[in-house]
């Protein structure tokens, strides 16, 4: 079996697509609803692509932001993956380049022969060569990517609430205005709104080109959940400061009838947040609301007389991070305190390093050192800690960080403490 790993040529684009689950109709998600999925099917039904769609996909494959690598076995493509160039917001607000791993698949007849391992090594080397010091992905299964140094850094909730259980703790008069908008308005609103959200929100990812194009076109999802409805909130000056996308699927099954599915929700101010939820949670002729892609620190529960009414139906890791250059990654973010720590960081792919981190709220310096380490960890734990979504003390308790100087874990926690839980509603 002769194996070759390399980027594809334009002539190979259609053959490359053939290995992807969404093209050949194989599952690409676990057989239970993910935190990003607001519908009720086990996984959104796989709709095989038509010849025309494949042609379009193949053309998009060769754009400059999509960097596919394929595994050729005896000259035929048996697997592949790709890096998309996106940005992620890090603590302190910088938006830094992230090599986003996507479209990973190996044909069932070639699995477990090391093809993914080789493809991944080629892609991560490529990111490093381009100066991308972070890579990221979302994982179909949590057992696959730890071996390459990736680890969960953001998490997502999917929750449900019964309409009759909802009562807000306080009266509220909306100083702004809600509007039901059509897809064309939504397609103008969302890119601008998301840019504003992303500037503030640690963990949020830049949208891929064309991300919002489908809003204007409409279209019905394959799981039968019906057309998208758009709600927009404007402040007293008429500027958009929040929006939601929701669906109202009809079902003859009483257990599934009367559900309002919230697929996307963003608000820039507490007023917009409260006004949008107030309408969505009390929508006429519905019984329940299911919201997907929600942050783990959702403020809504604290607005309700019965905070337990909001029932989590799924929690899942969302963005997995892989730090490719420890020094640059630690220097680009800001910190919640001023302190210095020496970290021993093991990395199976790119070698271990010992780093002195001099961190402060307005920046940091990270230098290689021979001084005694305060803490030992691997690049995986560093990936989970990086955006502030996982605490060092939690990982130390699990035996994943070794404290070499008493108090060092607590000090690292103080440095990395986030203002809010990192979150990304947009993926790649
Ligand atoms: C996941 C997938 C890409 C792995 O490809 P592969 O070529 O079989 O992987 P490799 O042979 O290079 O395996 C590398 C290592 O990962 C392990 N591994 C691979 N797939 C795994 C899985 N699903 N669960 C647990 N471990 C897995 C292998 O056992 C091997 O372990 P080792 O390093 O200890 O020897 C392939 O199984 C696939 O296409 N699955 C269906 C689609 C999918 O889940 N895609 C991922 C989307 S995020």
> Atom of ligand 1 at shortest distance to CA of 117?
12
Tokens of 313: 């139906």
Number of other residues whose CB lies within 10 A of the CB of residue 218: 12
What mean pLDDT is predicted for residues 223-237? 94
Residue 209 included in any domain: yes
Whether residue 165 sits in one domain with residue 309:
yes
CA of 326 to the centre of ligand 1 (A): 26
Q: What is the pLDDT of residue 180?
A: 98
> Atom of ligand 1 at shortest distance to CA of 102?
48
> Atom of ligand 1 at shortest distance to CA of 111?
8
Q: What is the pLDDT of residue 25?
A: 81
Residue 220 included in any domain: yes
The CATH number that applies at residue 110 is 3.40.630.30
Whether residue 229 sits in one domain with residue 110:
no
Q: Where residue 51 falls among pLDDT bands split at 50, 70, 90?
A: confident
Torsions phi, psi for 280 (to 5 deg)? -65, -35
Distance CA 246, CA 261 (A): 5
- Give pLDDT tens digits for 7-31: 999 999 999 999 988 888 888 888 8
273 tagged catalytic: no
Q: Any idea what DSSP says for residue 146?
A: G
Whether residue 186 sits in one domain with residue 310:
yes
CA of 116 to the centre of ligand 1 (A): 6
Give percent above pLDDT 70 in the chain.
99
DSSP for 148-193, please give it: GT-EE--EEEEEEEEGGG--BSS----SSEEEEE-HHHHHHHHHHH
CA of 78 to the centre of ligand 1 (A): 13
Whether residue 212 sits in one domain with residue 124:
no
Q: What is the pLDDT of residue 107?
A: 96
Whether residue 299 sits in one domain with residue 380:
no
Whether residue 68 sits in one domain with residue 30:
yes
Q: Atom 29 in ligand 1: which residue has the minimum CA distance?
A: 112
> Atom of ligand 1 at shortest distance to CA of 147?
33
Say yes or no to pLDDT of 43 above 80: no
Question: pTM to 2 decimals?
Answer: 0.96
Distance CA 427, CA 139 (A): 11
Whether residue 309 sits in one domain with residue 218:
yes
145 tagged catalytic: yes
Overall domain count for the chain: 3
Q: Catalytic residue among 16, 110, 246, 428, which?
A: 428
Q: What is the pLDDT of residue 175?
A: 97
- Give pLDDT tens digits for 64-96: 899 999 999 999 999 999 999 999 999 999 999
Residue 182 included in any domain: yes
Give the CA diameter of the chain: 70
Q: Is 373:344 a contact under the CB 8 Å cutoff? A: yes
CA of 104 to the centre of ligand 1 (A): 9
Spell out which residues line ligand 1, taking CB within 6 angstroms: 21, 28, 79, 104-106, 111-117, 139-141, 143-144, 147
Residue 386 included in any domain: yes
Whether residue 311 sits in one domain with residue 166:
yes
Distance CA 237, CA 258 (A): 35
Q: Catalytic residue among 16, 133, 145, 148, which?
A: 145
Domain hosting residue 45, numbered range: 3-132
């Amino acid at each position: 079996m002769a194996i070759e790993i390399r980027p594809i040529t334009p002539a190979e684009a259609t053959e490359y697509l053939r290995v992807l689950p969404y093209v050949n109709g194989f599952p690409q998600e676990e057989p239970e609803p993910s935190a990003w999925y607001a519908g009720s099917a086990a996984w959104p039904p796989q709709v095989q692509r038509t010849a025309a769609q494949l042609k379009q996909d193949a053309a998009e494959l060769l754009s400059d932001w999509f960097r596919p690598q394929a595994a050729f076995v005896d000259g035929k493509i048996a697997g592949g993956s790709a890096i998309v160039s996106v940005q992620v917001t890090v603590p302190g607000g910088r938006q830094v380049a992230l090599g986003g791993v996507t479209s990973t698949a190996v044909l069932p007849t070639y699995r477990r022969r090391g093809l993914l391992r080789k493809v991944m090594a080629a892609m991560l080397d490529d990111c490093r060569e381009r100066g991308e010091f972070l890579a990221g992905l979302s994982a179909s299964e949590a057992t696959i990517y730890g071996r390459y140094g990736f680890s969960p850094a953001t998490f997502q909730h999917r929750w449900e609430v019964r309409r009759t259980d909802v009562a807000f703790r306080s009266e509220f008069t909306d100083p702004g205005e809600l509007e039901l908008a059509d897809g064309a308005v939504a397609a103008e609103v969302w890119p601008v709104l998301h840019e504003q959200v992303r500037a503030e929100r640690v963990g949020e990812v830049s949208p891929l080109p064309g991300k919002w194009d489908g809003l204007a076109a409409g279209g019905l999802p394959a799981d039968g959940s019906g057309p998208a409805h758009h709600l927009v909130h404007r402040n007293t000056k008429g500027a958009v400061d929040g929006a939601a996308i929701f669906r109202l699927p009809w079902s003859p099954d009483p257990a599934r009838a009367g559900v309002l599915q919230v697929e996307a929700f963003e608000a820039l101010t507490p007023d917009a947040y409260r006004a949008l939820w107030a309408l969505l949670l009390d929508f006429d002729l519905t019984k329940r609301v299911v919201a997907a892609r929600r942050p783990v620190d959702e403020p809504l529960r604290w607005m309700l007389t019965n905070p337990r009414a909001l029932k989590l139906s799924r929690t899942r890791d969302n963005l997995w991070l892989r730090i490719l250059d420890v020094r640059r990654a630690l220097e680009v973010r800001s910190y919640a305190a001023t302190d210095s720590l020496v970290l021993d960081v093991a990395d199976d792919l790119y070698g271990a390093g010992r780093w002195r981190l001099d961190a402060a709220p307005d920046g940091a310096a990270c230098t290689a050192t021979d001084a005694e380490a305060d803490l030992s960890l691997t690049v995986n734990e560093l990936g989970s800690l990086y955006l502030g979504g996982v605490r060092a003390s939690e990982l130390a308790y699990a035996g994943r960080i070794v404290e070499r100087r008493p108090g060092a874990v607590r000090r690292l926690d103080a440095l990395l403490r986030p203002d809010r839980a990192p979150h990304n509603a947009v993926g790649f």
